[in-house]
Amino acid sequence: MNTHELIQELREKNGSKIVLFVADGLGGLPLTPGGLTELETAKTPNLDACAKVGVTGLSLPVLPGITPGSGPGHLGLFGYDPLEYRIGRGILEALGINFQVTAKDVAIRGNFCTLGADGKITDRRAGRPTTERCVEIVNKLRTIKVPGCELFVEPVKEHRFVLVVRGEGLGDKVNDTDPQAVGVTPLPAKGADPASQKTADLINQFIAKANEVLKADAPTNGLTLRGFASQPQIISFPELYGMRSAALAVYPMYRGLARLVGMDILDAGDSLGSQVAKLKEVWNDYDFFFLHYKYTDSTGEDGNFPAKVQMIERFDAIIPEVRALKPDVLIVTGDHSTPSKMKSHSFHPVPTLLVADDVRTDEVTEFGERNCLRGGLGQFQAMHLMLLAMAHAGRFGKYGA
């Protein structure tokens, strides 16, 4: 019996409510040895109040020492083993904008970047253009034709877009063309098997034509591609947990993650305030609520320590409105750490807190990395967090006689 089979055997229905509130990239690092992280620097009276009555710990998105992407990070939080369910970012971006993926499709997440005269990347995110600029450039890419396939290019947000390649016999085992660095050229696409090499050949033709089409459009004069993926097979969240589940997320990728596992995707506006307003509106219609907050991650990726502190404080300020709804279980965590010092995702464990009536409290009174290291949850794999949520919500029966 695997964990999912056990969950389906033990689950019980009741009227409890579970809120999973994800501050993307929450964990951080001090800028100097012995200093404070972004979370420890921020004034977080409301999260500290949760820590006093709840239990804390540090979650491992995948395994110790493994740096996760956002997809694996969230799948773990939803209770799916990210080593078993390897889902490329492209499919998540496509689902996030409600693109109808078919069995013949390979979906890819694209980033606009800035290329110098020598073809080397000078800005991996093209200065974070407006979404309006993204739409404008995508329209130019839609003029590109590659023999042997259909191409679909769709805008997402800021520097992000989706490319879908549709054709017969395409594989998705293709490397990212993003070298994850500046001062170097984008990588050529290469396939790990014949079907994937067919995809790579089509992609390299597309990139060559795209570079020609965009050459006069600096800073959005280049692109990189990541997360080649076909449609996966995965048990749905409602089928697994027996809960009516809703996702309130602003960014398309996270809506795509929730759609992938079968949650209802609700229009929650574009701010924390509108997300929580929608939460209040639909409170009686669902059992489980996934809320996502992006800006703790994007400020970390920008290497902006003070801005990440500010975004954490903004996140903290909305917590009382969520608690006022009296969820039976409130979980606050991140999908991974994004230290401003590193300007990227990292392998560091993520601060996590759980508030429920029957929680066994610990001695932690302030929510931060070092305090969570002393927390009662200890360090645990994120894919076990939903087990704790279900148990504290009274949604599990007893295992065995």
Is 97 in contact with 161 (CB distance < 8 Å)? no
CA dihedral 27, 29, 31, 37 (to 10 degrees): 60
Domains and CATH numbers, the chain: 3-86+233-392 (3.40.720.10), 92-229 (no CATH)
- List per-residue pLDDT tens for the chain, 401 residues long: 899 999 999 999 999 999 999 999 999 999 999 999 999 999 999 999 999 999 999 999 999 999 999 889 999 999 999 999 888 888 888 888 889 888 899 999 999 999 999 999 999 999 999 999 999 999 999 999 999 999 999 999 899 999 999 999 999 999 999 999 999 999 999 999 999 999 999 999 999 999 999 999 999 999 999 999 998 888 999 999 999 999 999 988 899 889 989 999 999 999 999 999 999 999 999 999 999 999 999 999 999 999 999 999 999 999 999 999 999 999 999 999 999 999 999 999 999 999 999 999 999 999 999 999 999 999 999 999 999 999 999 999 999 97
> Which candidate, 154, 214, 153, 216, places its Cα nearest to that of 186?
214
Task: Count how many Cα atoms sit within 13 Å of the Cα of residue 137 in the half-sphere of its side chain.
Answer: 34
CA distance 136 to 155: 9
Neighbours of 242 (CB within 10 A): 17
Structure tokens at 68: 């996760």
- DSSP letters for 10-52: HB---S--EEEEEETTBB---SSTT---HHHHS--HHHHHHHH
Tokens standing for residue 88: 């490329």
Q: In the beta sheet, which residues pair with residue 224?
A: 111
